[in-house]
Chains A and B, each alone.
Chain A
Amino acid sequence: MATTPSSPALLPVSGEKGAVTVGTRSLSSRRAVTILGKVLFALLALLIVIWSVGPFLWMMITSIKPDRDLATLPPILPTEITFNHYGALFETRPFYRYIINSTIVSVATTLVCLLIGSLAGYAFGRLRFPGRLPLLLAVLVVSMFPQISIVAPIYRMFQQRGLLNTYEALIIPYNAFALPLAIWILTSFFRSIPVELEDASRVDGTTRLGALFRVILPLSLPGLFTTAILVFIAAWNEFLFALTFTTSIDHQTIPVGIALLPAMYHVPWGNIAAASTLVTLPLVVLVLILQRWIVQGIVAGALKG
């Protein structure tokens, strides 16, 4: 080759060839770096998933282990799958009672809160009146009240009115605490709806209240939906008020039921794991499906001030 530099035209070609080799070498090392980066990134993402979901999975695994597998570790995985712990929940204690109570309280809280919150949200978002901003801020401050500071007076108030150990004893305070968040989210949603749409319906002779129910609310379905999920989950998870204002299984909710399963010694871990899985799984599924709405709600509630 070197003996016959046949044509000068070949030189640039070989030169090009050399450039290409250099190019591929740097390209392949760069590719190695990006692949390494991708692997590290994937590991990081995996770590996040394990940290988030792992503990819950561990509880699910525990709930289907037979008793002999529970007292020691290993085995990590059950040697045999059993649903005895789930059965026990309904034999020894009517656990379904807690589920019914929680459902009634959470659904009622959500509905009342959406109704009252929509009315207030419409006023804050659409109407002009003196004291609008101070009142909105007052609502915000109430959401920061520590529950422990007001639990005793509410207890005595309910005691005097014979409301202790009723569903109302939970629905009323849950509403007071969920309303600020609902009002804030709905106010910002209502405000985002074009005024022209409402005006058009008003020209057609609809009253303001009619416009709220026929124009604003249907257009705010995403906002209502988001609010509903957040309020429902908050009510479903609340513990302090439920522990204080209800005293028997007739009205106690799931968190109280789970907290009051015996605690320190001879803990029926299998049953606790089964109960926890049972009441949390629907919530986890709900979150996985409704992720987008929930994210929107949390962000709107916290940052859309």
Chain B
Amino acid sequence: MRHRYSEHLFAFALLLPAFVLIVAVALMPASETLWTSLHKVSMILPGSDFIGLGNYERLLRDGRFWNAWRNTLYFTAASVALETLIGLAIALVLSQNFPLRGLVRAAVLVPWAIPTVVSSRLWGLIFNTDFGLANYLLRSAGILESNKNWLGEIGWALNVTVLVDVWKTTPFMALLIMAGLSTIPGDLYEAARVDGANMLQRFFQITVPLLLPVMLVAVMLRALDAFRVFDVIYVMTGGGPADSTEVMSTLTYKILFSATQFGYGSTLAGAMFITLLGVSLVFLYALRNRLEVD
């Protein structure tokens, strides 16, 4: 009994540094954001007034918020969908045996390692109006007649940022799907082949259902990440043209640090926090069976 008690104490002592850090730098700031979001904070006068949910009411009437909300949802949905499809294709290719497979696999990882700021610059260069590779290739192929200002056009800018995110994060998706593929026993395919199932049938009736749990985890992790997008937008478009690429993170950042409206900025930050916390709790709940196995 005393032995077990000392084991508990020892465990908590080992956990202490990690938890002090996590509480001080994540949990406390998050609660402070929520608390500040209930106040009207003035930069000129000291102190702040408690206004309850007043800031949140303002949020619901704010066109800029809804614009950023729509863009964020579009960005998240489009990039996660494309990543999943391309990641699946890459994973299927890489799970075959072929010469130089190791090299191809290593190449696939390259975008993942490149800092987002760099990949934003990189694609900014490719989508440059006057000397970008994209315009050059599309003109040479006869698809475009004249150079397009990709990042300056309202319909296109957000799609270009989606492309950058897809490029950067598809490796993550491909790796997880590959890990999922490797757990499917080869006998299953053999048995299905003996039963006369063709390639498509084998794909849709064995691969897809058995891959679904892994894909679900991967999609959720990526969606939570894409929803927080900041770097790509900040570096490539700054939210423009005409706010058409403004997302939740960049709008919040502007209100907090450019407009220095800490109260209202915290409301945006709080709204995002609540949304993501809710989604991740649902996610964990959905995965509870996997977690309890340990």
State which size class the interface on B falls in.
35 or more
Closest to A256 in B: B117
**Which of A140, A152, A295 is the most central at the interface, judged by chain B CB atoms within 10 Å of its CB?**
A152
Q: Would B22 and A142 count as touching, CB distance under 8 A? A: yes
Contacting residues, chain B, for A146 (C-beta < 8 A): 227-228, 249, 269, 272-273, 276
Q: How far is the CB of A57 from chain B (nearest CB, A)?
A: 10
Interface pick from A15-23, A86-94, A120-128: A120-128
Interface pick from A77-85, A196-204, A217-225, A284-292: A284-292
Q: Enumerate B111-149 residues with CB–CB distance to A below 8 Å.
A: 111-119, 121-123, 125-126, 128, 130-133, 135-136
Q: Would A259 and B117 count as touching, CB distance under 8 A? A: yes
Q: How many angstroms between the C-alpha atoms of A116 and B21 in the bound complex?
A: 10
Select A303's contact among B100, B132, B217, B234, beta carbons within 8 Å: B217
Q: Would B118 and A280 count as touching, CB distance under 8 A? A: yes
Q: Would A173 and B25 count as touching, CB distance under 8 A? A: yes
Contacting residues, chain A, for B253 (C-beta < 8 A): 148, 151, 240
Known: A179-B21, A305-B287. A239 touches B116 (CB 8 A): yes
Q: How far is the CB of B215 from chain A (nearest CB, A)?
A: 11
Q: How many angstroms between the C-alpha atoms of A180 and B91 in the bound complex?
A: 27
Q: Would B269 and A52 count as touching, CB distance under 8 A? A: no
Interface pick from B51-59, B102-110, B188-196: B102-110
Select B14's contact among A41, A123, A150, A151, beta carbons within 8 Å: A123
A5 interface residue per 8 A CB criterion: no
Known: A44-B93, A48-B90, A119-B17. A150 touches B231 (CB 8 A): no
Q: Would A179 and B22 count as touching, CB distance under 8 A? A: yes
Known: A146-B272, A276-B121, A303-B214. A298 touches B231 (CB 8 A): no
Q: How many angstroms between the C-alpha atoms of A244 and B121 in the bound complex?
A: 20
State which size class the interface on A falls in.
35 or more
Q: How many angstroms between the C-alpha atoms of A295 and B235 in the bound complex?
A: 28
Contacting residues, chain A, for B18 (C-beta < 8 A): 116-117, 119-120, 139, 179, 183
A236 interface residue per 8 A CB criterion: yes
Closest to B273 in A: A149
The A interface is mostly helix, strand or loop, or mixed, namely: helix
A9 interface residue per 8 A CB criterion: no
Q: How far is the CB of A155 from chain B (nearest CB, A)?
A: 8
Select A151's contact among B112, B128, B235, B256, beta carbons within 8 Å: B256
Q: How many angstroms between the C-alpha atoms of A135 and B14 in the bound complex?
A: 13
Q: How many angstroms between the C-alpha atoms of A272 and B118 in the bound complex?
A: 9
Select A56's contact among B96, B122, B287, B290, beta carbons within 8 Å: B122
Interface pick from B29-37, B74-82, B154-162, B201-209: B29-37
Q: Would A239 and B230 count as touching, CB distance under 8 A? A: yes
A111 interface residue per 8 A CB criterion: no
A299 interface residue per 8 A CB criterion: yes
Q: How many angstroms between the C-alpha atoms of A208 and B186 in the bound complex?
A: 43
Contacting residues, chain A, for B239 (C-beta < 8 A): none
Q: Would A52 and B113 count as touching, CB distance under 8 A? A: no
**Which of B10, B22, B122 is the most central at the interface, judged by chain A CB atoms within 10 Å of its CB?**
B22
Q: How many angstroms between the C-alpha atoms of A73 and B130 in the bound complex?
A: 8
Q: How far is the CB of A111 from chain B (nearest CB, A)?
A: 13
B43 interface residue per 8 A CB criterion: no
Q: Would B106 and A291 count as touching, CB distance under 8 A? A: yes
Q: How many angstroms between the C-alpha atoms of A147 and B33 in the bound complex?
A: 12
Q: Enumerate B251-294 residues with CB–CB distance to A below 8 Å.
A: 252-253, 256-257, 262, 265-266, 269-270, 272-273, 276-277, 280-281, 284, 287, 290-292, 294
Q: How far is the CB of A137 from chain B (nearest CB, A)?
A: 6
B218 interface residue per 8 A CB criterion: yes
B15 interface residue per 8 A CB criterion: yes
In the assembled complex, 11 residue pairs joining A and B whose CB atoms fall closer than 8 Å, in A order, are: A55-B126, A120-B17, A140-B284, A144-B276, A148-B230, A149-B30, A239-B115, A254-B115, A259-B235, A276-B122, A280-B118
Contacts A123-B15, A286-B113 aside, 10 further interface pairs with beta carbons under 8 A come to A45-B93, A145-B277, A150-B33, A152-B29, A240-B231, A240-B253, A287-B112, A288-B110, A299-B175, A302-B217
Q: Which 7 A-B residue pairings sit nearest by Cβ, starting from the closest?
A: A153-B29, A176-B25, A150-B29, A237-B115, A149-B273, A255-B117, A129-B11
Residue numbers of B with Cβ under 8 A of A are: 4, 7-8, 10-12, 14-15, 17-19, 21-22, 24-30, 32-33, 36, 90, 93-94, 96, 98, 100, 102, 104-119, 121-123, 125-126, 128, 130-133, 135-136, 167, 171-172, 175-176, 179-180, 214, 217-218, 221, 224, 227-228, 230-231, 234-235, 238, 248-249, 252-253, 256-257, 262, 265-266, 269-270, 272-273, 276-277, 280-281, 284, 287, 290-292, 294
Residue numbers of A with Cβ under 8 A of B are: 41-42, 44-45, 48-49, 51-53, 55-56, 58-59, 62, 70-74, 76, 116-117, 119-120, 122-124, 127-130, 132-133, 135, 137, 139-142, 144-154, 157, 172-173, 175-177, 179-180, 183, 208, 233, 236-237, 239-240, 243-244, 254-256, 258-259, 263, 269, 272-273, 276, 279-280, 283-284, 286-288, 291, 294-295, 298-299, 302-303, 305
